[in-house]
């Protein structure tokens, strides 16, 4: 890639978006190195989708299973004795409305798939006495390999929820401690299911992409640009 190409690409991406990469210590104001960093950021973001998907699906399914059992119904969110926050109630209503608009069934499994990751993470927050309503009777069993407190589980999950959203909105993640992020994802998956964590460990490619960052920035290895 030459300077003219990098400059044109920066204008396509928007100068404001590109400015973050251009100002990075690794780019040092060099548009070509900044564009290589942008390309690597895209590649590593894509590589994280697999582990993050495994985390989200494993977590929500385990939580749904335990809550369904505890309340004796698969649509446990409609249990009269359960008091969810207004935000959680709105998210359930929004999920059901979205299914109705698409002519889909309101089967519990469909609602579970429609609910955002933030809904599930928030069930591990303080909520409206979620400790006694949800954690002790049900949700602690969704993480059989975890022995700590609810709040200490909520914190890293919420941090990774924000990480997931940054990727979904095409934001830069290159300045994060990505090795630690991957380790946290795997640890949390392991709390749910050791076999799932092992599968992620043999299939994820984020660690490989992370390891070749310097090669990409030097121009020794190309990404999708």
Q: How confident is the model at residue 221 (pLDDT cuts 50, 70, 90)?
A: confident
C-alpha Rg value of the chain to the nearest Å: 21
* Residue 170 forms part of a structural domain: yes
Question: Which ranges in the chain belong to alpha helices (H)?
Answer: 3-13, 15-22, 31-71, 86-101, 108-114, 117-122, 130, 150-168, 178-192, 194-203, 206-211, 213-218
Residue 37 is encoded by which pair of tokens? Answer: 């960093």
Question: Is 21 exposed, middle or buried (CB count within 10 Å of its CB: 0-12, 13-18, 19+)?
Answer: buried
pLDDT of residue 220: 81
C-alpha atoms less than 13 angstroms from C-alpha of 100 in its C-beta half-sphere: 6
* Residue 224 forms part of a structural domain: no
* Residue 84 forms part of a structural domain: yes
Q: What is the pTM of this model?
A: 0.94
Q: Looking at the 3D structure of the chain, how many domains does it have?
A: 1
* Residue 74 forms part of a structural domain: yes
* Residue 225 forms part of a structural domain: no
Q: Quote the domain boundaries for residue 42.
A: 3-218
Sign of the Cα pseudo-torsion (8, 14, 15, 17, in order): negative
pLDDT for 24-44, tens place per residue?
999 999 999 999 999 999 999
* Residue 125 forms part of a structural domain: yes
Distance CA 30, CA 223 (A): 18
Mean of pLDDT over the chain: 96
* Residue 53 forms part of a structural domain: yes
pLDDT of residue 1: 79
Instruction: Go through 40-67 and write b for each residue having 16 or more CB atoms within 10 A of its CB, e for each that does not.
Output: bbbbbbebbeebbebbbbbbbbbbbebb
* Residue 223 forms part of a structural domain: no
pLDDT of residue 224: 55
Distance CA 40, CA 165 (A): 18
Mean pLDDT of 118-123: 98
């Amino acid at each position: 890639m030459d300077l003219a190409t990098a400059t044109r690409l920066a204008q396509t991406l928007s100068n404001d978006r590109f400015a973050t990469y251009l100002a990075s210590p690794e780019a040092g104001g060099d548009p070509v190195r900044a564009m290589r960093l942008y390309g690597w950021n895209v590649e590593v973001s894509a590589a994280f989708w697999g582990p993050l998907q495994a985390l989200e699906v494993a977590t929500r399914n385990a939580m749904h299973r335990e809550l369904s059992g505890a309340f004796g119904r698969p649509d446990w969110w409609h249990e009269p004795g359960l008091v969810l926050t207004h935000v959680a109630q709105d998210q359930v209503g929004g999920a059901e409305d979205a299914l109705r608009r698409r002519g889909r069934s309101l089967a519990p499994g469909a609602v579970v798939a429609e609910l955002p990751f933030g809904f599930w993470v928030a069930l591990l927050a303080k909520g409206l006495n979620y400790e006694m309503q949800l954690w002790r009777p049900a949700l602690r069993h969704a993480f059989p390999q975890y022995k700590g407190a609810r709040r200490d589980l909520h914190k890293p999950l919420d941090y990774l929820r924000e990480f997931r959203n940054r990727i979904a909105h095409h934001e830069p993640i290159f300045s994060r401690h990505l090795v630690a992020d991957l380790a946290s994802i795997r640890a949390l998956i392991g709390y749910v299911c050791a076999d799932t964590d092992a599968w992620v460990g043999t299939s994820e490619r984020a660690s490989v992409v992370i390891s070749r960052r310097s090669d990409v920035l030097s121009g020794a290895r190309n990404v999708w640009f």
